[in-house]
Structure 1
Amino acid sequence: MPISSPASGPQGLATVCDHLALLKSLTASSGNNLTVKRRLLDMYFAAAPEILDAHGRVTPVLIPTRGDRVIAAERVRPGDADGPPERRLLYLHGGSWIAGSPAGHRPLAVRLARATHAEVIVIDYRLAPEHPFPAGLEDCLDAWDWLCASHSDDDLLLAGDSAGGNLTLACLNVLKAKGQRLPDAAIAFSPATDLRWTGDSLRHQAALDPILDPAVLPLVTQAYLGPSPSAPPDDPRVSPLEGDLRGLPPLLLQCGEAEILLDDSRRYAEAAHRQGSPVRLSLWADMPHVFVGFAPLLEPASHALTEVGRFLDAQLAR
């Protein structure tokens, strides 16, 4: 299993950490007001004006599902992109399964589209607690089915961050088990892979992590699974670490070394490697949760996006 720890200076890190600490404090102060919590998490990447000024083109789209519903989504491309893309990337946003949106992730989506030379499609999947598991996962799978049917001749990619990284890896487990088309490659930024929360980094990294609180994570699992859970926390659709990780597509996991979910990436990558899947674990010193979304303020975030582009170029050229 290739492991890299890129040596990049922490330019912009203090600004990012101060911003995340403020969000953490305000989120804790909001009590049980879910609307406020969602608005705060939509400002996750708003640490500086240059982050929000990503210069992208956004087109709304409705994605049909197997039922009578449709999923709202955004097609995102850089503002200077010309010609039809040959790569399509389905992006699953983070937000602890209870928050997050395509709009809040738009700066990251634009920069990811530029780095990967792909059209990025960010979906507004259903959120808990109003729509507990498996509603959000079903939306992600329906969106993937739509992408495969709409762009069958293109390179198709799947990516997500945090809870969206969890959904990305859970989708791989489900698609493989059903014998459906897998992504040509997949990316997970700081994914949650074990919703029993048993990783050692939950304790060891707690003092370093400016945004995530290990004491809150069991409550997040309860909200995601709902009052009458249809699956236990160790179900592979809930905790991808528990899945059969043989036969996965090429996969890149990027994670900061200053976050409590560090072991979620480490253990998943180690398990996938043991089972023979092509996985690359990329760890970044001093970086917080989903640091890749803070480009260009945070210099390592820009380097991480470059790494994603090079990884995909190498995999898709084969």
Structure 2
Amino acid sequence: MDSHADAPLQNTDDAHAGLAPVIAHLKHIKALTLRTGTDLGAKRTLLNAYFAADARILDTGVTPTLLMVPGGADERLCEVIELPAASEAPAKPRRLLYLHGGSWIAGSPAGHRPLASRLGAAVRSQTYTLDYRLAPEAAFPAGLDDVLSAWRWLCAEFPDDHLLLAGDSAGGNLTLAALNVLKSANERLPDAVIALSPPTDLSWGSASLSRKAEVDPILDPNLLPYVSMAYVQDGTDLGDPRISPLEGDLSGLPPILIQCGEAEILLDDSRRYAAQAQDSGSPVTLSLWPDMPHVFVGFAPLLTAANEALEEAGQFVDMTLVASGTA
């Protein structure tokens, strides 16, 4: 569902079914976020409850296993979720490294299990959700180093399989930042990439930060400098492409699907990245969803638009791999 019009938050069609309770839930989290101030523990509790708008969302029906993989400084845990038995397995195995969101300071594989498991099922892949290190205890580049180490492990362990990379919010930022690093080092790139509502410019220069402030039910533009300062603590230039993926050389990238709601302040981060990558000749698909909030895809099966976005992600991966002649 591609659109470039900015629309008010309202129910307009079947895709909006389930939106009202999602918006109410997010507004409640936003109010508690403001009330708890800079309490890091509270922020982590609230972000772990991000998708808890309805019991159906949390009831994933999956039993993950835990696996240790190499990290930037040591080993890190991954939640491994198998492809559901009822799913049609692809001819060639697929492995998805998933990077959870949480403003670089929060989030966890368990909290993002609803989204990671459903996305893995949609793209017909075994899913590895990485427990990367969080700021402020482990500031940049610790989390990104963990991502790169896990990716390199996946490449070494499964060199003949299709390897996918995806993430939401801060995890989407890490996803796109990792591409910049891997491409610069001439390392293996993912066969397909999915980024959900990624921040791409940590100098926070997108016009939508102010234009969408009144309709975004969860993100407050005034808090963004706080989280970026927690993530990048040593005075590193925010224009570093490992921090702001928009600042990288966006030519020669693998196929990328960016899904973003139009009712979020980070809308133009997705638009700007997609436009710059497309202008650089990279196959980036931008999918914008009217009236949808930040990382709306995680609210399946309650939210109809989320179900449709997951279907779109599955079609994107299938078509990408078929086009490559390796499906």
Q: Take 2:45 and 2:71, find their aligned partners in 1: how far apart are those partners?
A: 27
1:200-234 alpha-carbon deviations (Å, 9 max, x no partner): 100110000000000111111111101x23x2111
Select the residue among 35, 48, 52 that pairs with 1:42.
Answer: 48
Q: For residues 225 and 154 of structure 1, do their structure 2 counterparts lie closer, same or farther at Cα, with a shift above 3 Å needed?
A: same
Output the CA distance in 1 between the equivalents of 2:57 and 2:293.
Answer: 16
Q: Offset of 1:66 from its aligned partner?
A: 5.6
List aligned pairs for 1:198-277, cutoff 5 A.
198-226=205-233, 228-229=234-235, 231-277=236-282
- What is the rounded CA distance, in whole Å, between the counterparts of 1:137 and 1:73 in structure 2? 15
Pick aligned residue for 1:113 from 114, 120, 126: 120
User: What's the CA shift for 1:277?
Assistant: 0.2
Q: Secondary structure at the match of 2:20?
A: helix
The match for 1:174 among 170, 181, 202 is 181
State TM-score, norm by structure 1. 0.95
Distance 2:280 2:303 in 1: 35
Question: Which segments of 5 or more consecutive residues in structure 2 lack a partner in the other structure?
Answer: 5-12
Deviation at 1:256, TM superposition (A): 0.2
RMSD value over aligned CA atoms?
1.6
1:79-103 CA-partner distances (Å, limit 9, x unpaired): 5357797000000100000000000
* Distance in 2 between residues matched to 1:284 and 1:8, nearest whole Å: 13
1:316 aligns with 2:321: yes
**Alignment correspondent of 1:4:** 2
Aligned residues: 313
SS in 1 for 2:165: strand
In the other structure, the counterpart of 1:59 is: 65
Over the matched positions of the two proteins, sequence identity in percent amounts to 59
Query: What residue is the counterpart of 1:101 in the other structure?
Result: 108
Which structure 2 residues correspond to residues 67-86 of structure 1 after superposition, within 5 A?
Answer: 67=73, 69-80=74-85, 86=93
In structure 1, give the amino acid aligned to 2:2: S
Aligned partners of 1:57 and 1:79 also within 8 Å: no
> What amino acid does structure 2 have at the position aligned with 1:267?
R
Distance 2:174 2:123 in 1: 20
Secondary structure of residue in 2 paired with 1:56: coil
The 1:74–1:170 alpha-carbon spacing in structure 2 relative to 1, beyond 3 Å, is: same
Where in structure 1 do 4 or more consecutive aligned residues deviate above 4 Å? 81-85
Q: Distance in 1 between matches of 2:15 and 2:160?
A: 40
Question: Which whole-Å CA distance do the structure 2 matches of 1:174 and 1:9 have between them?
Answer: 37
Task: Report if the CA contact (8 A) 2:166-2:194 is conserved.
Answer: yes
Per-residue CA deviations over 1:264-302 (Å, capped at 9, x if unaligned) read 000000000000000100000000000000001000000
Q: TM-score, normalised by structure 2?
A: 0.93
Give, in whole Å, the separation in 2 of the partners of 1:56 and 1:264. 33
Q: Which residues of structure 1 form unaligned runs of 5+?
A: none
1:188 offset after TM fit, Å?
0.2
| Distance of 1:81 and 1:58 partners within structure 2 | 16
Q: Report the equivalent of 2:7.
A: none
